[in-house]
Structure 1
């Protein structure tokens, strides 16, 4: 599989690469942005770890690349960044028939859909956590002065719907220790209990709530055993208009009670912050340090 380089942009001390490639999982052309830190351009003894960032509803790979200010932190610690798209796109890709912004194109919820007409293209869980890392590894192999580790030494974070996607993937794949660490900005923490999640899960996975549990962080906490040291970092603004009705991070804390994750979720309620990238960018340095420690960079 071949990536097309659409643009290379000098950014901070490194380079942002805007790529596209045909995906077998989604059956569409997929866009992805990759930030190569300054360390990539100098010979490294060890491979450079990778942080995956999943964006929220209505977003594309451009939003966080332009507004989250991850690049200076990537240069500071020496990790690369991958910004996948939020859904398949293109002619023939089914969208929400009601043309709403919280379902369909740019709102995949990062699951592998099982329902028509979405299951053909909306295979986003398999795409992001299986196909994309393998294809990026092959594409960047023997390029540049340093090796990039897209598969083994990786961490995950995200915002809003992407925060849910990060929590879901971290916990769902936890037994195999796919991701070294997980953090989230204003995530949808227990989608089975809020309208955004119920609509998405019902549309992509069907109306039987039992089929939602393998993706729902609130249930996955009870199905996965923490090995004893792993923690999850979350920031949530109290001025976020979605905080009380769609995000509800306290539900995740409640769900963790009595499980191996009890006391392992570091929820930070930050006064006055909203849902925007002003909020995200403010706390990116804290999340970057958290992941750098878990990736062995500090």
Structure 2
């Protein structure tokens, strides 16, 4: 992954060079002040897309193919699908889970470290603000074309590649190592959350990763968490774009002042989410005893 990241950074600079008229100084100016110019949004999305492809795609694919000596495609199907509609069901479960996850986002934002770690807390809050500013800038789509590019990079690529790494590779490796699916799912979810380097979003992202992990384990099909991941990210992008274009939503105010979801909204959506998840489990594991679900060898 580190090798893929370094190669991705190099390739991404080459790809955006024509955008800046082959002026390297302009690219360095952009990297020094990423949110300083609206014209930076498109090249930054391109850089993020190429870097993500190499980091989460090319590097791990090479690892599994040439180090393991096995086809990475075997990771996509651990067992026969009992119902192809499970892929769509995974996306629906994520939509039902959004209010519950939102409550954990609010809870995580309220966490405070002991006084002895005050300096660390201030550093993490400063990092959080910087990441929020970058996210706000990238979500400030000025045209439908930027929105489509953002959807491809942030929703499609991230959904496919991150699930390939964290569920397809890591979760399967941990499962083979320990023989305990729950441990494999939660450790993979912790790594998934930690690698995003957002302390004040760690808890909800870990829970989301675990949800993706169970969707994969129960269905045995990597397309299920990939589509669920896509739906989760696409929901954020579509909400931001529609809010800005039609409702004059202030994204900065929404992102920097996280509000707890409505109690009644949580009260209604959470049982629906749990019920849908249980139904998914029953349908996807029907006729396949839990202990006999094959693992990757």
Higher RCO (Cα < 8 Å, 6 or more apart): 2
Q: TM-score, normalised by structure 1?
A: 0.27
Higher strand share: 1
Rg larger for: 2
Q: TM-score, normalised by structure 2?
A: 0.27
Higher helix share: 2
